Structure 1
Amino acid sequence: MMASDSDISDDALLSQALPTTRIPDNFNPSLPPTSAEEYLQHVVWEARQCKEVVTVDVDRKKLKKPGSIIKKQVKATAPYGYAPSSETQQELLAAFSKLRAQIANLRSSKQIPKSPVSLPGLKNHQEWCKLCFGNSFQLALLKKANRDTTQPPLVEGQEPLLSIVLNIQQRGLQNLLEWHAQWLEVLGFSEAQGRWFYALLACLEKPLIPESCSQIRHIARMCAQIRSSLTSPEHPFLPHLNVIICIVARYFNQEDLADG
Structure 2
Amino acid sequence: MASDSYSSDDETLLSQALPTTKVPNNFDPSVPPASAEEYLQHVVWEARQCQDVVTVDVDRQKLKKPGTLKEVKVTAPHGYAPSPETQQELLTSFSNLRTHIANLRSSKQIPPSPVRFPSLKNREEWCKLCFGNSFQLALLKQANSDAAQPPLVEGQQPLLSIVLNIKQRGLRNLLEWHAQWLEVLGFSEAQGCWFYALLACLEKPLTPESCSQIRHIARICAKLRSSLESSDHPHLPHLNVIICIVARYFNQEDLADG
The code of the aligned residue for 2:189 comes to: E
Once the 2 structures are TM-superposed, how far is the Cα of residue 72 of structure 1 from its aligned partner? 1.1
Q: How does 1:181-260 map to 2 (within 5 A)?
A: 181-260=179-258
Instruction: Render the CA deviation track for 1:162-218: whole Å, top value 9, x for unaligned.
Output: 000001000000000000000000000011100000000000000000000000000
Q: SS at 2:234's partner residue?
A: coil
Bigger mean CA offset, 132-141 vs 197-206? 132-141
Q: Is 1:62 aligned with 2:59?
A: yes
Q: Deviating runs (4+, > 2 A) in structure 1?
A: 29-32, 65-71, 141-150
Look up the SS of the partner of 1:156 in the other structure: coil
Partner of 2:92: 94
What are the superposed Cα offsets for residues 113-148 of structure 1, whole Å, 9 maximum, x if unpaired? Answer: 111111111111101111111102122124445666
Residue aligned with 2:59, SS: helix
Q: Deviations over 1:96-116 (max 9, x none)?
A: 000000000000011101111
Say whether 1:121 aligns with 2:119: yes
Moved more, 94-103 or 150-159: 150-159
Residue equivalent to 1:171: 169
What letter matches 1:258 in structure 2? A
Report the CA distance shift for 1:116/1:30 in structure 2 as closer, same or farther (over 3 A): closer
Query: In the TM superposition, what is the alpha-carbon distance from 1:69 to its structure 2 partner?
Result: 3.0
CA shift for structure 1 position 30: 10
Q: Distance in 1 between matches of 2:78 and 2:185?
A: 26
Larger radius of gyration: 1
Aligned position for 1:106: 104
> What amino acid is aligned across from residue 162 of structure 1 in structure 2?
L
Deviation digits for residues 64-112 of structure 1 (CA, Å, limit 9, x no counterpart): 1366734411221101110001110000000000000000000001110
C-alpha change, 1:234 and 1:210, in structure 2 (3 Å) is: same
Query: Against the structure 1 CA distance between its residues 251 and 30, is the aligned structure 2 distance closer, same or farther, given a 3 Å change threshold?
Result: closer
Unaligned runs of 5+ in 2: 2-6, 11-54
Which of 137, 151, 154 is the equivalent residue of 1:153?
151
Label 1:151 to 1:186 Cα distance change in 2 as closer, same or farther (>3 A). same
- What is the one-letter code of the residue matched to 2:117? L
Distance in 1 of aligned mates of 2:118 and 2:147: 23
TM-aligned CA deviation for residue 149 of structure 1: 4.2
Q: Which residue of 2 aligns with 1:11?
A: none
Identity %: 78
Mapped to 2, the partners of 1:226 and 1:155 lie a distance apart of: 26
One-letter identity of the residue aligned with 2:98: R
Question: Scaled by the length of structure 1, what TM-score is found?
Answer: 0.74
Query: SS state of the match for residue 65, structure 1?
Result: helix
Matched position secondary structure for 1:244: helix
Give, in whole Å, the separation in 2 of the partners of 1:30 and 1:248: 58
Pairs aligned (count): 208
Structure 2 counterpart of 1:98, one-letter code: N
Aligned mates of 2:209, 2:191 — CA distance in 1: 20
Where does residue 130 of structure 1 map in the other structure? 128
